[in-house]
Amino acid sequence: MRKIYVFDTTLRDGAQGEGVSFTVADKLKITKKLDEFGVDFIEAGNPGSNPKDMAYFEEVKKLRLRNAKLTAFGSTRRANVAVEEDQNVTALLKADTPVVAIFGKSWDFHVTQIIRTTLEENLNMIRDTVAFFKEKGKEVVFDAEHFFDGLKSNPIYAMNALHAACEGGADWLVLCDTNGGTFPADVAGIVKTVVKRFDVPVGIHSHNDCGMAVANSIMAVMAGAVQVQGTVNGYGERCGNANLCTIIPNLQLKKQLRLVPDSSLCELATLARYFSELANKSLNEYEPYVGNNAFAHKGGMHIDGVLKNTASFEHIPPELVGNSRRMLMSEVAGRSSILKRIQEVAPWLSKESPEVQDIMNRLKSLEHDGYQFEGAEGSFDLVVRRTLGKLRQFFQVLDFTVLAENQWKEGNSATAVIKVEVNGEQEITAAEGDGPVNAMDRALRRALELFYPQLLKMRLLDYKVRVIDTQQATAAKVRVQIESTDGERVWGTIGVSTNIIEASWVALTDSIEYFLMEYEKDMALTKENEAWMEGAV
C-alpha cells in the first residue's frame, strides 16, 4: 500500500480563516489530537509573525509527539539581506522544530510587482534560505507559492524556482495553488511533469476558491504527489483550504493508499467535530463523510432500500469514518421507516405491537399541530419513550417567569426566574440574557447544573423559528427547532405553539432531557463494561 504523507496546516493556514482564532492552549490540544490521529507533519505557525506563535513553540517543547513532525513556517530571506541576519529566519530557528516549511515566490509577477526585487535575487533568496536550514540539520519543505499561476505566466521561471530549492537541498517540493483557480486536469498534468523532472518528492497545497481544492489534491496524488497539505474541516483564508476530512477517506478507502492508521480513520467524524468546537464554528452538516447529514436518509424509497441493503444508497458504511446512519422522520418517509426508527428506541416492539399504534397516533396528532420531526430526532425519541412510559423524569419545572425590557438595549435585555425540582430538592435561579430565550436557557442551566454538572458539556448550536400558518399574522403558530451538541454528537429538538416563548421552552427542555437521557445510558454502559472487565480479570 503506497504511503501518502499528510501535512496538516490547520494551526497555520487554517487559523487565517475568518472567525478562526486559536489560543495557545487550543493549539496545544490540537497538536496532541493531530499526533494521536496519525498525521505526518503539523505545521504549527509562523514564529516570526506574532508573539502567540512563538509562545506556542516554547510550550509545545514539553509535549512528546509519537507520530507527527512539528513544523515551523516562514518565508525566504528578504531581498538583499544576508540569510543569517534576517529576523524571520532567525525566529524560525528559535522555534527549534525538526522541520521548517519555507515559502518562496515562483510567479514572476509576484517577484517584480509584490516583493519588488529581481528575478535572479528571488532565486538566490530561495537557494540561500533552504541551504541555511539544511546546514542546521533541518528537514526542509519548500512551498512554491503561486506555482500553477507562475507556470502559466512564465513556465521556465517557475521551474527555476524549484531548481533553486533543490540546489539548496530541499527535502520536499510542494506545488501551491495559492489563488485556488486551477482546474483538476491541469493540476494532474503539471504535477506529472514536475514529478518526472525532479528526484525530490512532490507535495500539493490547494485552496478552494473554485470549489476544487479536494479534487485538485486527489488529482495531484494520482499524478505522483506523495505529500498532501490541507486543514481539518477545510478551514483557511477566503474559501478555505483543501479539506483533509474529505481527502483522507477518499484516498484511503477509495484508492487503497495509506495516509493515517486504519484505527484512526474511525475517529474522523469525532476529530472534525472536536476541531469545530475549538474553532467555535458550527460543523457543516452536509460535509462528506463527517457531517451529520452525510448518511441521513429521508425519502421513503431511499430508507426502504437502506433497510434492505445499506449499499443501495450509501457509498461506504458510515462506521468506517466514525459517523452513523440516520433515518429522518418526514412527510415522505414511509410507515416501515417510521417503524424502524421506533425500533431503534424500543427494539422489542414489532409492527403488531399495540404500543406501535399508540406511538403512531401520538406522532400524527403532533404533526397535525405543526410538529415536524425531520432534523428533530431528539424530540422523536422522547415522544416514543414518553408514550411507552419509559422516560425517567430528570427534573420538573415548578414555575418560571420571563421579563423582557421595553428598552431594547444590547445584551441582557431579558430576565428569567425559574424554579425546578430534582429528586425532591427545589432550586430557584434567575439569569439575564440577550432576549427571553437566552435568559430562559441560562436560568434553567444554572439551576440544573447544581444537580447535573455534566450539562457543562452541552451547548446550543442553532436556533430556528418558522411561522407555520402565516395567514394568522401575529397570532400564527410558530415552530422552533434547536440543534445541540455535547462535542461528540448532535441532536435536534422541536417545539410548537402560538407563543414563541413556549415553543422555545419546549424545544429547550427537550434538548436538555435528551442529553441527560443519553448521558445516563453512556454511564450505564461504562459501568457494565467495567464490571465485565473486572469479571474477566
In a domain, 512, yes or no: no
For the chain, what is the domain count? 2
Q: What is the pLDDT of residue 410?
A: 60
pLDDT at 331: 46
* Residue 282 covered by a domain: no
Is residue 370 situated within a structural domain?
no
d(CA 217, CA 273): 23
pLDDT by residue (tens digit) across 263-303? Answer: 999 999 999 988 988 888 878 889 999 998 898 877 667 76
User: Is the pLDDT higher at 441 or at 372?
Assistant: 441
User: Has residue 367 been placed in a domain?
Assistant: no
Distance CA 366, CA 361 (A): 9
What pLDDT score does 217 carry? 98
Share of the chain above pLDDT 90, in %: 64
Give me the CATH number covering residue 185.
3.20.20.70
Which of 156-170, 246-260, 507-521 shows the lowest mean pLDDT across its residues? 507-521
Q: Which helix (H) or strand (E) holds 41?
A: strand 41-45
Which residue, 260, 278, 310, sits at the end of a domain? 260
User: What CATH number does residue 400 fall under?
Assistant: 3.30.160
Residue 463 lies in a domain: no
- Assess if residue 276 is contained within a domain: no
What pLDDT sits at residue 297?
A: 79
**Per the confidence metrics, is the pTM higher than 0.85?**
no
Q: What average pLDDT does the segment 104-124 reach?
A: 96
pLDDT at 346 over 80: yes
Please report whether residue 519 resides in a domain: no
Per-residue pLDDT band for 332 (boundaries 50, 70, 90) equals very low
Alpha carbon of residue 291 to chain centroid? 8
Which of 405, 435, 451 lies at the terminal end of a domain, its last residue? 451
Q: Using CA of residue 220, residue 221, residue 223, residue 226, what is the dihedral sign?
A: positive
Residue 249 within a domain:
yes
Which residues face 172 on adjacent strands? Answer: 141
Indicate if the pLDDT at residue 101 is higher than 60. Answer: yes
Among 260, 292, 323, the domain-final residue is 260
Alpha carbon distance 299, 359 (integer Å): 21
Query: Would you state the pLDDT for residue 28?
Result: 94
- Residue 251 and residue 400 in one domain: no
Tell me the C-alpha distance between 479 and 494, whole Å: 7
The CA distance from 480 to 509, in Å, is 12
Of the pLDDT bands very low, low, confident and very high (cuts 50, 70, 90), residue 311 is: confident
Give the SS3 label for residue 523.
helix
* Vertex 202: Cα angle to 16 and 260 (nearest 5): 70
Mean pLDDT of 503-510: 93
Q: Is residue 460 within 8 Å of residue 483, measured between CB atoms? A: yes
Task: Report the C-alpha gap between 372 and 329 in whole angstroms.
Answer: 8
Nearest Cα to Cα of residue 187 among 412, 381, 370, 195: 195
| Phi-psi category of residue 389: left, alpha or beta, with phi > 0 → left and psi -120 to 50 → alpha | left
What would the pLDDT profile of 431-468 be if each residue is shown by its tens digit?
Answer: 998 888 889 999 999 999 999 999 999 988 888 888 87
| Cβ–Cβ under 8 Å, residues 41 and 60 | no
C-beta separation of 53 from 92 below 8 A: no
Instruction: Give 327-391 as a 3 state SS string.
Output: ECCCCCCCHHHHHHHHHHHCCCCCCCCHHHHHHHHHHHHHHHCCCCCCCCHHHHHHHHHHHHCCC
**Does the pLDDT at position 334 exceed 60?**
no
pLDDT at 337 over 80: no
Does residue 262 have a pLDDT over 60? yes
The 10s digit of each residue's pLDDT in 195-244 is 999 999 999 999 999 999 999 999 999 999 999 999 999 999 999 999 99
Rg, the chain, Cα only: 28
Q: What is the pLDDT of residue 376?
A: 83
Least confident interval from 95-104, 153-162, 182-191, 362-371: 362-371
Average pLDDT across the chain, whole number? 90
Taking only the tens place, the pLDDT of each residue in 380-437 is: 999 999 999 988 899 999 988 888 766 555 656 789 999 999 999 999 999 998 888 8
Full residue range of the structural domain in which residue 145 is found? 5-260
First-to-final CA distance of the chain = 38
The pairing of strands 490-497 and 478-485 is antiparallel
- pLDDT score recorded for residue 14: 94
